[in-house]
Every structure is written in C-alpha cells, then in structure tokens.
C-alpha cells in the first residue's frame, strides 16, 4: 500500500497538481517547488534500483544511495518542524522512512509544507534549536530555509554521482529541466 501511495504522490505531482504548473509566482515558492520536484524525481528514479544498487556507496559522499536519500528526507522533516513550529525537534516516536515510497510520501509532505510556509517567513523570524546538551540557541528562520535548499542540492548531487558510478543514468534535475517540464503542462 505504501508503495502505491508514493507512486500516487509522484503521479499527481507530474500531472500538474497544485504545485505543478508553471505560472508566475514568488521566488521562494519557485525555489521550494523546484526542490520538491527534484526530490521526487530523484526518488522516482531510485525506486527502480535494486537493493544492491541502493546500498552502493562511493568515497566522498554521505553514504549509500539509500542512506543519503533517507538523510535528505529526514533532515527536511526536521527543518520543516523548525519553520512550522519555531523549534527544531525530532519526534522520537516517529519512525524514519525506510522504503522509497515512504521517503516519497515524507518528501511530498515536507515539500508542500515548505512551499506554503517559506513565503510567510520574515527576516526577523527565529527558530530555536536545542543542542544535544539541552542548550537552546536562536537561528534565523531564513538560515533554515537556506539550509533546506543547500542541503538537498548537495546530497542529491552525491546520489547522482553514486548512480553514475554504478552505471545508472541519474535524472536531470537542473532548473532548466524543471522549467521545460512545467512549461509543457501549461
């Protein structure tokens, strides 16, 4: 069932759901729409990889393809908790996504959440992070948003490098491709 849900999210997104048509929009909505599109395209491409391929890892990357994808999705859940609640925290009772379908579902939820929340963030907004020693420190919410885009871009590139290394053509995640695909739907 969860596999069907992940595929349904991707199909809905590709068909031009709420965030899938190219129309004039603000900068942050465009950036976070591209981020969601890129995450889903990469996860879709990885959904057909074998377990052996998903476990592939090369020096200089976060880890295996599977672990890096899980890291992207889990980090975005953490970042979104900070933007939406004002406090970065993890729910210890919530299991990390394990399957590609679960990762797609989580990416969809946080991605659409960022699309909604990012334009609302003001320069003076603060997110609190609680360190492992229990101390709290303030982080401008704009830095959290910047980190979301930077973090995902860096780790998607690592996954694509690993895919190339094992002989799998990675998807084209450039903004130009995003524009081309959305322009074809309009």
Q: Where are the domains of the chain?
A: 2-9+26-181
Tokens standing for residue 149: 């885009």
User: What pLDDT score does 145 carry?
Assistant: 96
Tokens standing for residue 181: 């695909």
> 26 falls in which pLDDT band (50, 70, 90)?
confident
pLDDT in tens, 94-130: 777 789 999 999 999 999 999 999 999 999 999 887 7
Q: What is the DSSP string of 92-160?
A: TTSPPP-SHHHHHHHHHHHHHHHHHHGGG--TT-EEEEE-TTS-EEEEEHHHHHHHHHHHHHHHHHHHH
Whole-number CA gyration radius for the chain = 16
User: What pLDDT score does 1 carry?
Assistant: 37
2-9+26-181 has which CATH code?
A: 1.20.120.450
- Tell me what the mean pLDDT of segment 3-14 comes to: 48
- Tell me what the mean pLDDT of segment 166-181 comes to: 96
DSSP-assigned letter for residue 23? -
User: Do the Cβ atoms of 46 and 69 come closer than 8 Å?
Assistant: yes
Residue 88: in which H helix or E strand, if any?
A: strand 87-88
Q: Which residue did the predictor score with more confidence, 20 or 108? A: 108
User: What pLDDT score does 130 carry?
Assistant: 72
Q: What is the value of pTM for the model shown?
A: 0.85
CA distance 109 to 90: 16
- 127 forms beta bridges with 139
User: What pLDDT score does 17 carry?
Assistant: 45
> 90 falls in which pLDDT band (50, 70, 90)?
low
């Amino acid at each position: 069932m969860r596999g069907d849900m992940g595929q349904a999210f991707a199909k809905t997104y590709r068909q031009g759901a709420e965030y899938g048509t190219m129309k004039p929009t603000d900068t942050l909505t465009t950036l976070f729409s591209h981020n969601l599109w890129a995450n889903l395209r990469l996860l879709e491409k990885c959904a057909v990889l074998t377990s052996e391929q998903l476990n592939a890892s090369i020096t200089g990357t976060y880890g295996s393809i599977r672990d890096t994808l899980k890291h992207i999705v889990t980090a975005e859940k953490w970042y979104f908790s900070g933007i939406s609640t004002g406090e970065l925290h993890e729910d210890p009772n919530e299991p990390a996504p394990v399957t590609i379908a679960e990762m797609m579902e989580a990416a969809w939820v946080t991605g659409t959440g960022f699309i909604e929340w990012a334009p609302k963030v003001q320069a003076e907004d603060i997110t609190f992070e609680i360190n492992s020693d229990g101390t709290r420190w303030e982080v401008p919410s704009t830095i959290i948003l910047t980190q979301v885009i930077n973090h995902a871009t860096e780790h998607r590139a690592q996954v694509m490098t690993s895919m190339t290394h094992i002989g799998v053509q990675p998807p084209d995640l450039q903004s130009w491709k995003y524009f081309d695909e959305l322009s074809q739907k309009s």
